[in-house]
Structure 1
Amino acid sequence: MAKGLIRRADVDLVRERARLDEVVSEHVTLRSAGIGSMKGLCPFHDEKTPSFHIRPQLGHWHCFGCGEGGDVISFVQKINHLSFVEAVEMLAGRYGVELHYEDTGRGSGGDRPDFGTRRRLLDAHAIAEEYYREQLGTQAAEIGRRFLTERGFDQRAAEQFGVGFAPEGWDNITGVLRRRGFTEAELTASGLVSQGQRGVYDRFRGRLVWPIRDITGNTIGFGARRLLESDQGPKYLNTPETAIYRKSQVLYGLDLARKQIAAQHRVVVVEGYTDVMAAHLAGVTTAVASCGTAFGSDHVKIVRRVMGDTNPSAGLRLNADGRSLSGEVIFTFDGDAAGQKAALRAFEEDQRFVAQTFVAVEPSGMDPCDLRMARGDAAVVELVQSRRPLFEFAIRSMIDQVDLDTVEGQVTALRMAAPVVARIRDRAMRPEYARRLAGWLGMDERTVLRAVHEAARGGADTGRHVLRDEHEKSNGPDSGQDVGLPTVRLADVVRPRDPVGQVEVQSLAIMLQAPTLLDPEQVGALPDDSFHVPALQGVWDVMLAAGTLLDAVDGQLAPARYLEQVLEIAGETVRPLIVEIANQELPARTEDDLARLGSSLMDRLTELSITREYSVLTQRLRRAETEEEQQDLLRRLATVQEKRRRLRRGEG
């Protein structure tokens, strides 16, 4: 196994081999939009007129409606809600690129399997899932089918969620995998078997099993429910930690729920496999569950990425249905003491979300699976709709632990609850909850408000947001999300009726899109200060800093690789503008038209530069104080004039 980041050369090879038009066309209906360009309806926002453009030869896409853009890796990231590493691994598997991982020396990134090892482990799990599903139909699995039926799940539901049965015996799946060519070392690494004194044996025996999948649908582990009285193991037994399965980084059901989570900006966190099944079958299609561990910070990162939970300025804003426009995370817990404890643990993660967090607890203590069996699908939907803010639930749970009929109990409850109110992200809501707390405690409002204020001043966490997944940030140029950085859009810097601005935009566009159609002498003659629009001059500065524009013009460097080099050194603010310009549609129907347009644009850009230089020199001449300075400026003006005449005569 290798540690750390994917080798840069492998990432470049993935970009080179992955066909952008092929990947995008699986999600967008594309049609021709001129030379080297295709367009369609944007998959990332609602629109009726196509504004989503791709340029396969450059390997880049951009939506002129919502401003999103990037390369093939960033498209896979966004459409599938993956991290940079996950997107690269997905494309590598599709296009046959072997990945290697470099040791970063950080010691905190954890081990990642090399791509060959990962593929073998995924293959083993795919075979195991198929085997377990087949076994659910056997006579020996009657007890498993009865378990499902008693909980309201028929054969169709079992098939939808891939539920299977691991038969009794010590070497059933072990034998299957050995016959398929897997070595004992691979079996051990998979987590499907356990190591005994006499060798390996099946980990799951006589149990109902649920496949645990990653966000892309690959099975990476299993959860198994005890069925037999003779089974002395735990009620639920999961796959152990392996190279592809980390329980703190996996949410059961996310592969099924991710599209609806992204569309609804809502996720419902339940407690178990059958709860996820019940919720989805009842119509709550955003339900997920953690796998044998408490919902923690790594789960928060996953949910935030899928929800697009990135707007720290959004307060509690509701739509007509009473749903938070900034997104909702709803936790469901049993109504018993253990459920309350789980809710309070969840509250510790609340501050990591930008979305509003809620809790939904069924008064009689039923979980979604029990509730669906007892009262039907509508009751599960109603449970979710009855949600209330998580911090309100946390406050009430705290103060319910003490005797509020005594002064000592009231003071104790205030000391426990005031820091919670002080941590509410939306500061405008704190006074109202302080007043409610005063009512719950039976205390004077001013006393409670003072306690909340002191708790906030005393260093209570008042809503610090995790705005970037640090692991993703360190794994590639398109891997992180920069929240709050000002993003420059073309419409913000150049007006449609600005003829000079349009010339400058088109000049940059043709240099980025089709540099080989340009004359090296024309491009080489452009001065460093060729642009009067500051943002476009900033783009030109980055292009010059890359140092390889003339190599691209001469055909020594592929246009796609030149664009990559430009984007590599571009800052976060200007990078989206470069991508937008690289996807700008140009007024040309054929390659010859584009070549003539390029020549005309380079001449026009040069002429505009000469005009600006002439204007500057003229102004300086008016301010000149000595005859010597005047003569120098007159000579320079004559030179500029000669440049203009030669340009107009076509002499360069």
Structure 2
Amino acid sequence: MAGRINDEDVKAVRDAVPIDAVVSEYLQLRNAGGGNLKGLCPFHDEKSPSFQVSPSKGFFHCFGCQEGGDTLTFVMKIDHLSFSEAVERLAAQAGITLRYEEGGYNPAHQRGERIRLVEAHRIAADWYMEQLASSPEADTGRAFLADRGFDQAAAQHFSVGYSPQGWDHLTRFLRGKGFSDKELVLSGLSQEGRRGPIDRFRGRLMWPIRDIGGEVVGFGARKLYESDNGPKYLNTPETAIYKKSHVLYGIDLAKKDIAKSSRAVVVEGYTDVMACHLAGVTTAIATCGTAFGGDHIKILRRLLMDNGSARVIFTFDGDAAGQKAALRAFEDDQKFAAETYIAIAPDGMDPCDLRLAKGDDAVADLAEPRTPLFEFALRHIVGRYDLDTPAGRAAALDEAAPVVARIKNSGAQHEVAVQLAGMLGILDTQFVVKRVAQLARWTRDRGGKGPAPDDRQQRGRGGGGPQQYDSAPDRPSPRGPALNLRNPVFATERELLKLALQRPELVSPAFDAYGLDEFTAPVYAAVRQAVLDAGGAESGVPDSQDYLVRVREAAPDDTVRAMVTELAVEAIMLHRGVKEVDENYAGAQLVTVRRRAVERRIREITGRLTRVASQGDPAELASVQNELWVLQQYDQALREHGAAAL
């Protein structure tokens, strides 16, 4: 077993890798105010961004699904890593050598399985590239690329490689690097042969497939020789690190430009991605041996941020298979907030052939959105019916009207409904318009039960009027009574806890003297206890990030842990007339929470005084009266002198 990673090294890794730099590798972040950033949560589907990152605190929190934590937590959740694997990955990025308390420095065999499989793929990718660049046998591969307009520099830019035709060249090489036969088979780089593992890929051009974080997780391999009886393209099988429906070829190269331009171009093959990027269309990506589907959409939506100007352009071959792929993509159209388009090159050429035949400008022109995907789908539908007969026109309308009703923009929806009437040859245009509008209303309203999750986007963007739902992040209630933040008691307690977590220097040392009973919401009292167990707010003054980690670790369960990250990331709410978070503002929150606790105690003592007076015990009566007088004097001092009286 691997030894326990030294605590100082774990802290060094947390401090060395900014959380916003890590998160932005997976989704687009934009300013959320108060020094925070926001984006679409990668852990659940949502229409408006409720995922927030606080670079200064080193924390993230989703106000929709309650996932939260620090940089290590994010990497663990997003890539399904163990704690040690996440530390090892970030340490490698930061150039930090880890120490293991039970096993010295980080030997290869101690690393987690996923880290090992990723490392094997990284080494294999470099080795394949070296074979393509220098092996005489790879002449066939180099000629294949040259025939398609790709020189050595292009091959290196996309890390294209070559797998030799022998049975076990790569397998033997990776064994020499310390990988076991079991690891090689689990990685998909090798497969079981009659006498042990052999190379899975032999005599093929190799395209490394990287995840959105840039790690090589698989390969796409193109057949080069007639003697190869395998398929034209052979991909890595499903493994612990490679799921073909969860990856997009070229996403590592395209993600920044996709986020910057709010545009993505979806092509069909590896060479098409290369052709597009070399022609200046640096937002091109492709699926890896599977149809474009819902999981691919999730990846793109995090980068596109669902803004109204986002565009996704699908390029498909003009043949029957390409049309089928386009219609399949249209089935998932409503999962996008972006507008979707289709582009088909002249003579049905793909981007790679188009670049060869007509140059880079033709490829760049192809990627400009022209035909909306819904229009393509409509023409395909209408073309299948006999429009010379009333029955044919009616059947075509039945199938086409729901397509028009799904158009996000209400103005465009009306215009396309009029066009549909013309396409069908229906003279009563208003009949078609009303039919579409009726279907659109039904889609939005779902029988009066309110919009379904996929329809909320339509209502906000194109349903004819303002949004009918709250765009603020939903906050599910923790265990215990629901937190109503309109309740000023809960609201002030929340602000004080946020100050204790985010700005401990402003509330220390006074906050550490507050009892659990001064927080009336059970989950807030639990957070207060976690702060106490972590050493108190004053201990967070020297190093706020390490303090927040300790508070999270001290939380008794996931509910309290989620509340800690939520309060650590949520913006501090300034009252009207207050311009900044300072000692005066913090003092006001401290006083308000304390005064409410004192007032509750005064009410309790007053009730007790009434009971004691009726019982006629002079000694107890005097004791209770004295306690009440002391509390009243303290309340008056707080009212007159504020934080100075704490």
The verdict on a shared fold, with TM-score over 0.5 as the criterion, is yes
Distance in 2 between residues matched to 1:507 and 1:252, nearest whole Å = 45
Counterpart for residue 133 of structure 1: 129
What residue number does 1:24 align with? Answer: 18
Q: Which residue of 2 aligns with 1:448?
A: 432
Structure 1 pair 525–400 and aligned structure 2 pair: CA distance change class (3 A): closer
The question of 1:83 aligning with 2:71 is answered no
Which residue pairs with 1:73 in the alignment?
71
On the 8 A contact 1:193/1:203 being kept in 2, the answer is yes
Task: State which of 562, 568, 571 in structure 1 corresponds to 2:551.
Answer: 562
2:278 equivalent to 1:281: yes
**Distance in structure 2 (CA, Å) of the matches to 1:417 and 1:329:** 22
Match for residue 265 of structure 2 among 239, 259, 268:
268
Output one character per residue of 1:315-351: Cα deviation in whole Å (capped at 9) or x when no partner: xx5xxxxxx2xx2222111112211110000011112
Q: CA deviation at 1:217?
A: 1.5
Q: Give the 3-state SS of the residue equivalent to 1:251 in structure 2.
A: coil
- Displacement after TM superposition at 1:645 (Å): 6.4
Q: Which residue of 1 aligns with 2:533?
A: 551
SS at structure 2 position matched to 1:186: helix
Instruction: Choose from 632, 635, 638 the match for 1:641.
Output: 632
Inter-CA distance 235–453: structure 2 relative to 1 (3 Å threshold): same
Q: Which residue of 2 aligns with 1:387?
A: 370
In structure 2, distance between residues paired with 1:140 and 1:457: 63
Q: Secondary structure at the match of 1:335?
A: coil
Query: Does the alignment pair 1:188 with 2:219?
Result: no
Which residue does 2:480 correspond to in 1? none
| CA deviation profile, 1:510-564 (whole Å, cap 9, x unmatched) | 46643894257742398446xxxxxxxx7x9624565344434558995533256
Question: 1:41-52 maps to which residues of 2 (within 5 A)?
Answer: 44-45=29-30
Q: Report the Cα distance in structure 2 between the residues aligned to 1:256 and 1:455, rounded to whole angstroms.
A: 41
Structure 1's 581 and 567: CA in aligned 2 closer, same or farther, altered over 3 A? Answer: farther
- CA separation of 1:16/1:543 partners in 2, compared to 1, >3 Å: closer, same or farther? farther
Shift of residue 459, structure 1, vs aligned partner:
7.3
Paired amino acid for 1:22 = A
Alpha-carbon distance between aligned partners in 2 of 1:245 and 1:502, rounded to the nearest angstrom: 47
The 3 A distance-change label for structure 1 pair 252 and 115 is farther
Q: Following the alignment from structure 1 to structure 2, what is the Cα–Cα distance between the partners of residues 375 and 51?
A: 47
Aligned-partner residue type, residue 336 of structure 1: D
> Whole-Å Cα distance in 2 between the matches of residues 602 and 300 of structure 1?
44
The aligned residue for residue 474 of structure 1 is none
Q: 1:551 to 1:376 in 2, by over 3 A?
A: same
Give the unaligned 5+ runs of structure 2.
23-27, 38-52, 92-97, 101-109, 457-469, 477-484, 541-546, 575-579, 607-612, 615-620
Matching residue's letter, 2:380: S
Q: 1:200 is paired with a residue of what secondary structure?
A: strand
Shift in Å, 1:566: 9.4
Give the superposition deviation at 1:251.
0.8
Q: Give the Cα–Cα distance (whole angstroms) in 2 for the partners of residues 368 and 508 of structure 1.
A: 53
Q: Residue in 1 aligned with 2:316?
A: 333
Is 1:118 the counterpart of 2:118? The answer is no
Q: State the AA in 1 paired with 2:413.
A: R
**How big is the shift at 1:586?**
6.2
- Tell me the SS of whatever aligns to 2:214: coil
One of 484, 499, 503 as aligned partner of 1:509: 499
- 8 Å CA contact 1:423, 1:460 repeated in 2: no
Q: Secondary structure at the match of 1:359?
A: strand
Structure 1 CA distance for aligned equivalents of residues 409 and 82 of structure 2: 34
Give 1:70 shift.
Answer: 6.4
**After the TM superposition, which residues 606-621 of structure 1 pair with which residues of structure 2 at under 5 Å, given as runs?**
608-609=595-596
SS in 2 for 1:237: strand
> Superposition pairs for residues 127-526 of structure 1, below 5 Å?
127-137=123-133, 138-309=135-306, 317=308, 324=309, 327-443=310-426, 444-449=428-433, 451-452=435-436, 465=453, 485=473, 509-510=499-500, 513-514=503-504, 517-519=508-510, 522-524=513-515
- 1:275 aligns to what SS in structure 2? helix
CA distance in 2, matches of 1:365, 1:646: 83
Paired residue type of 1:562: V
> Matched residue of 1:547: which SS?
helix
Cα drift, residue 352 of structure 1: 1.6
From the superposition, tell whether residues 520 and 454 of structure 1 become closer, same or farther in structure 2 (CA, over 3 Å).
closer
Offset, 1:159: 0.3
Q: CA–CA distance in 2 between the matches of 1:527 and 1:26?
A: 35
User: What do residues 384-403 of structure 1 show as CA deviations (whole Å, max 9, x unaligned)?
Assistant: 11432211111112212334
Relative distance call for 1:544 and 1:179 in structure 2 (3 A) is: closer
In 2, the alpha carbon distance for the partners of 1:606 and 1:445 equals: 65
2:341–2:369 contact (8 Å) kept in structure 1: no
TM-score, normalised with respect to structure 2: 0.69
| Contact persistence 1:248–1:296 (CA under 8 A) | yes
Once the two structures are superposed, what CA deviation does each residue of 1:72-106 show, in whole Å capped at 9, x if it has no partner?
A: 338967xx9x83746975445334699xxxxxxxx
2:316–2:343: 8 Å Cα contact kept in structure 1?
yes
Question: Secondary structure of the residue that 1:216 maps to in structure 2?
Answer: coil
Deviation at 1:164, TM superposition (A): 0.8
Q: Secondary structure at the match of 1:385?
A: coil
Residue by residue over 1:463-519, the C-alpha shift from the partner in whole angstroms, topping out at 9 and shown as x without a partner, is 955699xxxxxxxxxxxxx9753589xxxx99xxxxxx9999578514664389425
The alignment partner of 1:228 has SS state of coil
In structure 1, what residue type is equivalent to 2:550?
Answer: R
Q: Is the 8 A contact 1:21 1:54 kept in 2?
A: no
CA gap of 1:308–1:90, structure 2 versus 1, over 3 A, is: farther
The change in CA–CA distance for 1:334 and 1:181 in structure 2 (over 3 A counts) is: same
Aligned residues with identical type, % of pairs: 42
Name the amino acid aligned to 1:129: A
Aligned to 2:618: none
Structure 2 SS opposite 1:231: coil
In the alignment, residue 411 of structure 1 is paired with which amino acid? A
Contact 2:36 2:54 in 1 (8 A): no
Q: Is the 8 A contact 1:504 1:605 kept in 2?
A: no
Q: Against the structure 1 CA distance between its residues 542 and 239, is the aligned structure 2 distance closer, same or farther, given a 3 Å change threshold?
A: same
Which stretch shows the higher mean deviation, 227-236 or 556-565? Answer: 556-565
SS at match of 1:343: helix
Separation in 2, partners of 1:153, 1:447: 55
Pairwise CA RMSD of aligned residues?
Answer: 5.1
Deviation per CA, 1:559-615, whole angstroms, max 9, x where unpaired?
533256399536999965552468998658xxxxx9xx98x6787447754897899
Further displaced range: 434-443 or 168-177: 168-177
**Aligned AA (2:414):** P
Q: Distance in 2 between matches of 1:446 and 1:151?
A: 52
Distance 1:646 1:233, change over 3 A: closer
